[in-house]
Structure 1
Amino acid sequence: MYTEIELKLRVRAADVSRLQRRRLIKSLSISPAVNQKLYSVYYDTGSHDLRLKDIALRLRRDGKRWVQTIKGKGEATAGLHQRYEWEVPVLHARPDLTKISDPAVLSLFDNARLRESLHPIFTTEFNRSKRILRLASGEVEFCLDRGTITAGDASISFSEIELELKSGSSASLFQLAVDLLAVIPFRLENRSKAERGYALAAGSEWLPQKASPVNLRPGMSLGSAFGAITASCLNHLLSNESGMLEGRDVEYLHQMRVAVRRQRSALSIFSPLFATDSNSIARELRWLARQIGSARDWDVFVTETLPLILSAFPQHSGMLALRDQCEQRRLHYASLGRGAVESKRYIKMMLKLGERISAESGSSLAGSHLRDELESDSREKSLEEFAGELLTRRHDKLKKHGRKLKGSGVRELHRLRIAIKKQRYAIEFFVGLYPDEAPRCYSQSLTKLQDILGKMNDVATMERLLGELPGCEDDLAVQQAIGVTLGWGACLALKKKRELGRAWKSFYKTDPFWQ
């Protein structure tokens, strides 16, 4: 058994020949390229019991020999995959569980029904070009894979690069990826071939993904906590990336925007504690937030707000014309957002964050390389103390905002909404440090406030977006429609402000669960 650490990069088939013409890979090679034709069969039960346990059982033919591989539960962040792997040669293309010598692995197959129900689920067939590269800080196995995944009558093709760490620090994988990005474009691939095969077999597309819980435990170091939180934010972002680029559903973009906001919040929480400068990452996150933020604002207005108003004025010609103009603006900003996510700048930012996470978690075959960046006074503080002080500080700030609630204007309410959002994100990050039910009432109160303030902010955003529409002053019907829309927004804002007062009183009575 060993821990496999590799970085997966999805490339276009058309770019492979360009990579092969460049000297980068050849100049780093310390072994000739070995070409293989690999055929693999993945086994599971009809109800995918192994997949539910995060286990993959694979039989792979390499030349005339078959190898049985079991891959255990692992993690993937910014394309970096870490998982346990067990391999053993077998005689035939059928699972032979008698070959398993590791008791921990054997226990995964202790169910007789499971063993008897194993059958092929999907196959992969691809050509692999493999060589060993020597880098400044270790050795990496470079694999270029091109082929197909097949499940029944369905199949998909793929071209990808796998950079597997053989020695040294995983930082070398990310630096090599940056060098490759100067040669060809690529996407970070967080899904393994097995995950794509299972999705193909199920006939399902990758649905919009919400943030997964952060697995923090009492006693963790601040550096490890930062790495775990950042990994959660990045996985949230990347799991919605393909759907957003394909324009399948506006919810993909929504979740990407939430992921960016969570990552910015995490950076603001931890960056004051680190000796190294985090401003460059913060700048890149602000850039991405601006690029996708405008697209999301138009999505909300066109797909959520306008339909409510149109339902009350279905035959109003000005409303229909306004909707068409707004839809064109929405498509324009959606295109700009996709362009940002498709850019090399975005990929470089993902690689930089991925490298930071791997450094904090000590992903290295040469031992832990956890950065000793925390200032001395911070290193003495436990994670529980750090979280409690942060939540208290932000809670006190919220109460100060609340004292001025009656006379608050748009800007003050916007600042309150941001403060509430930051407190909610912090609770989501640190919730694992507290008993299961402890944060429930406090979080529900914050959610209620955020929802109300969010609707009020939508009204303010709507006014700004309508002001961006060109040429409306020459169309009387559209001008009337804009007036109707603004009037509807003003009524909604008044209603929500009354709700805000009641929700704030409820929140004020809620005791902080961490004290």
Structure 2
Amino acid sequence: MPTEIELKLRLPADSIVRLQRHPLLKSLSTSRPVAEKIHTVYYDTSDYDLKRNNVAFRLRRIGKNWIQSIKGGGSAVAGLHQRYEWEAPVLGAQPEFKKIPNSALGRIFDSDTLCEQLRPLFTTEFKRSTRSLRFMDNTEAELCLDQGKIVAGNVSMPFCEIELELKSGSPLPLFQLALDLLPAVPLRLESVSKAERGYRLASGDKPPMVKAAQVSIVTEMSSGEAFQVIVRNCLDHLHSNEAGMLECGDIEYLHQMRVALRRVRSAFSIFSKAFSKSAFVPVTQELKWLSGQLGPARDWDVFVTETLADICTQFPGHAEMMVLQEKCEQIRRHHNDVARKAIGSTRYTEMMLRLGAWLNAESWPVPPGLPVSTGLLEVRAKMPAKEFSTGLLAHRHKQLKKYGRKLKNLSPRALHSMRIVAKKQRYAAEFFAALYPHGKTKRYIKSLAELQDVLGGMNDTVVAGQLLSELPAGENRSGEHEAIGIVLGWAASVALAEKTKLNRTWAGFERNSPFW
């Protein structure tokens, strides 16, 4: 089936005129805008069988003509959607299953039972303005400006978005166009399709909380190719939780976005040995900024919803503990607001667009000051992924072992450093897991996760003291000091218990031989 590649962007409806009048858009246009009304009906079973197979099936009316479409598979990274797509004209507003091609997606419809159970689930009604674009490198694209609504039963959802569909050439100019429009038009990258939003509307579900997916790399890849796959995986993890972070109150969206940031920053650290740290500076500086906006929010989430909540259950009715809890909750909300503001900012959108452009640049990444065809760094970039990862994993394993030999005498600062090494080793092991035997790799990663959890628990007790030092002084200083003393005493007790647990966990880690 042919592949559809498009960059999806959403914008406020009151920005449409600014977009249409933008001189850059006019200079790139090779056709006048064509306006049309589009009505689309999406089908599925009551159990969402098509959705579970990552397939969208629709009938679309444009004017008097009906088109039957199947979309599925593919990916969406930094707003760039790549999906298989099949279309065929049909006579009217009824599916014609005989016209579905014999393909991997089409075979889902071989079941007569499934076809009989398909029913209209939701519709879209929108106006579309379409124009053709040609860029300086002769890349050709189609810009579709869609404004309308999704309707499911008695509920509806408005939308206003741009689809920049690549017709020929590279996706890079699509990202550059979005970056050039951004100062005048408040664009946002759109991570989900109209179909996905329709399913949420029909089911009433909130955006799903997305964990990191397994990285799909193979032994035939070079380390440079593996790097691109890994970074795309991390960005997908980050962007997939954006809507939930902005729309919902669940702290897990923030947690997953912070994990995604740590994973992608770890990936840049890993591959700086193959490329160049200086080549990554513009990207890593922005990722560091975002981590700084999200970090305090996550620290306060853990402290208030886990540490402090556990302590308060042991001191029911303690007036000063209740005051302390409320004061900490206010600070937590403030930092969550700061984090959401950062995710909703133009700076965040620009960062994601630049990452997308960077990943799609043909010469990416070229270390500054080095010829493309020479140099040790390029040799490392062309090194087989498995050879590169084996050396990296062995080196970091040795670093961990050094900490393990001094485990009984490590200071809190050294334990924090050990935690960082363990975390980076876990991310590296997860990135390259597909290149090694599954069983041994899984056991090693599990033991690393257990080690990281214990070290993380110990670090939480240190962070608790740091967070309490940020509290503004209250009127009842003696009562507040009593409550803070309770928390610090609790944290010290937990740290002692975790230290004992750490010895057992380390012994378990050492029993797992390296899988590489």
Aligned 1:70-219 pairs, distance under 5 A: 70-104=70-104, 106-137=106-137, 138-219=139-220
Query: Secondary structure of the residue that 2:484 maps to in structure 1?
Result: helix
From 499, 503, 515, the counterpart of 1:513: 515
**For 2:273, what is the secondary structure of its paired residue?**
helix
CA–CA distance in structure 2, aligned partners of residues 344 and 373 of structure 1: 37
| Range 136-145 or range 92-101, more displaced | 92-101
Aligned equivalents of 1:178, 1:372: Cα separation in 2: 32
- Distance in 2 separating the partners of 1:235 and 1:161: 20
Which amino acid is 2:509 matched to?
Answer: F
Residue 69 of structure 1 deviates from its aligned partner by 1.3
TM-score, with normalisation over the residues of structure 2?
A: 0.94
Q: Per the alignment, do residues 484 and 167 of structure 1 end up closer, same or farther by CA in structure 2, a change over 3 Å counting?
A: same
Answer whether contact 2:175 2:353 (CA < 8 A) is retained: yes
Q: Quote how far apart the aligned CAs of 1:205 are.
A: 1.1
What is the CA-CA distance between 1:269 and the residue it aligns to? 1.1
Residue correspondence of structure 1 range 473-484 to structure 2 within 5 A? 475-484=477-486
Counterparts in 2 of 1:360 and 1:236: CA distance versus 1, 3 Å: farther
Question: Using the alignment, how far apart are the partners of 2:245 and 2:105 within structure 1?
Answer: 38
CA distance in 1 between counterparts of 2:87 and 2:210 reads 32
Contact kept, 8 Å, 1:274 with 1:373, in 2: the verdict is: no
Distance 1:16 1:106 in 2: 37
C-alpha deviations, 1:411-444, integer Å up to 9, x for none?
1000000000001111111111123222122122
What residue number does 1:257 align with?
258
List aligned pairs for 1:20-99, cutoff 5 A: 20-99=20-99
From the superposition, tell whether residues 471 and 373 of structure 1 become closer, same or farther in structure 2 (CA, over 3 Å): farther
On the 8 A contact 2:275/2:381 being kept in 1, the answer is: no
Q: Which amino acid aligns with 2:435?
A: L
Asked if residue 446 in structure 1 is aligned to residue 448 in structure 2, the reply is yes
Provide the residue aligned with 1:304 in structure 2.
306
- Post-superposition offset of 1:380: 4.9
Larger mean CA deviation between 147-156 and 31-40 belongs to 147-156
Deviation, structure 1 residue 45: 2.2
**Alpha carbons of structure 1 residues 353 and 373: separation in structure 2 relative to 1, 3 Å:** farther
Change (3 A) 1:389 1:482: same
In the alignment, structure 2 segments of 5+ residues that lack a partner are 365-371
Give the aligned partner of residue 333 of structure 1. 335
Q: In the aligned structure 1, how far is the partner of 2:375 from the partner of 2:231? A: 16
Partner of 1:424: 426
Distance in structure 1 (CA, Å) of the matches to 2:376 and 2:110: 45
Alpha-carbon distance in structure 1 between the residues aligned to 2:506 and 2:73: 44
The 1-side partners of 2:482 and 2:394 are apart by: 49
Question: How far off its partner does 1:91 sit?
Answer: 0.7
Matched, 1:241 2:242: yes
Asked whether the 8 Å contact 1:210–1:236 carries over to 2, the reply is yes
Any conservation in 1 of the 2:5–2:80 contact (CA below 8 Å)?
yes
- Whole-angstrom distance in 1 between the partners of 2:390 and 2:252: 33
Aligned to 2:505: 503
Contact 1:391–1:423 (CA under 8 A) maintained in structure 2: yes
Which residue number in structure 2 is paired with residue 365 of structure 1?
none
Distance 1:149 1:208 in 2: 22
Secondary structure at 1:277 match in 2:
helix
* Overall identity of the aligned pairs, in %: 53
Sort the Cα spacing of 1:373 and 1:242 in 2 relative to 1 into closer, same or farther, 3 A.
farther
Sort the Cα spacing of 1:104 and 1:493 in 2 relative to 1 into closer, same or farther, 3 A: closer
Preserved contact between residue 128 and residue 143 of structure 1 (Cα < 8 Å)? yes
> Which residue type is aligned with residue 118 of structure 1?
L
1:378-434 Cα distance to aligned partner (Å, 9 max, x none): 255211111111111110110011122111111100000000000111111111112
CA contact (8 A) 2:131 2:143 kept: yes
Which residue of 1 is the match for residue 315 of structure 2?
313
Letter in 2 for 1:163: L
Contact 2:37 2:127 in 1 (8 A): yes
Deviates more, 1:460-469 or 1:224-233: 224-233
User: How does the TM-score come out when normalised to structure 1?
Assistant: 0.94
Mapped partners of 2:352, 2:358: distance in 1: 10
- C-alpha spacing 1:424/1:237, structure 2 compared with 1 (3 Å): same
Alpha carbons 1:359, 1:371 under 8 Å: kept: no
CA separation of 1:249/1:170 partners in 2, compared to 1, >3 Å: closer, same or farther? same
Matches within 5 A, 1:327-406: 327-359=329-361, 375-406=377-408
Deviation, structure 1 residue 156: 1.0
CA distance in 2, matches of 1:310, 1:425: 35
CA distance in 2, matches of 1:306, 1:11: 41
CA distance in 1, matches of 2:442, 2:363: 30
Retained in 1: the 8 A contact 2:133–2:140? yes
The answer to whether 1:270 aligns with 2:271 is yes
Residues in 1 aligned to 2:398 and 2:204: alpha-carbon distance in whole angstroms: 50
Cα deviation code 1:436-463 (max 9, x no counterpart): 2221221222111111111111111110
Give how far 1:104 is off: 5.0
How far, CA to CA, are the matches of 1:192 and 1:172 in structure 2?
21
Q: Kindly state the Cα deviation for residue 23 of structure 1 after the two structures are TM-superposed.
A: 2.8
> 3-state SS of the aligned residue for 1:489?
helix
Q: Against the structure 1 CA distance between its residues 250 and 106, is the aligned structure 2 distance closer, same or farther, given a 3 Å change threshold?
A: closer
Distance across 1 between alignment mates of 2:57 and 2:248 = 34
Q: CA-to-partner distance for each residue in 1:43-86, whole Å, 9 max, x for gaps?
A: 22222222222221111100011111111311100100011211
Give the distance between the partners of 1:158 and 1:430, measured in 2 at CA. Answer: 39
SS at match of 1:205: coil
Structure 1 residue 20: deviation in Å? 3.2
Q: Report the secondary structure of 2:164's partner residue.
A: strand
SS in 2 for 1:278: helix
After TM superposition, give the deviation of residue 176 of structure 1 in Å: 0.6
Cα deviation for residue 472 of structure 1 reads 3.9
| Counterpart contact for 2:222–2:383, Cα < 8 Å | no
Offset of residue 96 of structure 1: 1.0
Counterpart code for 2:510: Y
SS of 1:213's equivalent in the other structure is coil
CA contact (8 A) 1:224 1:361 kept: no
Deviation at 1:114, TM superposition (A): 1.8
Structure 1 pair 380–11 and aligned structure 2 pair: CA distance change class (3 A): closer
Q: Equivalent residue for 1:294?
A: 296
CA–CA separation in structure 2 for the residues paired with 1:317 and 1:307: 15
Per the alignment, in what secondary structure is the counterpart of residue 438 of structure 2?
coil
Bigger mean CA offset, 405-414 vs 107-116: 107-116
Tell me the CA shift for residue 101 of structure 1.
4.6
CA 439–105 in structure 1, closer or farther in 2 if over 3 Å, else same: closer
| Count of aligned positions | 507
Q: Where does residue 367 of structure 1 map in the other structure?
A: none
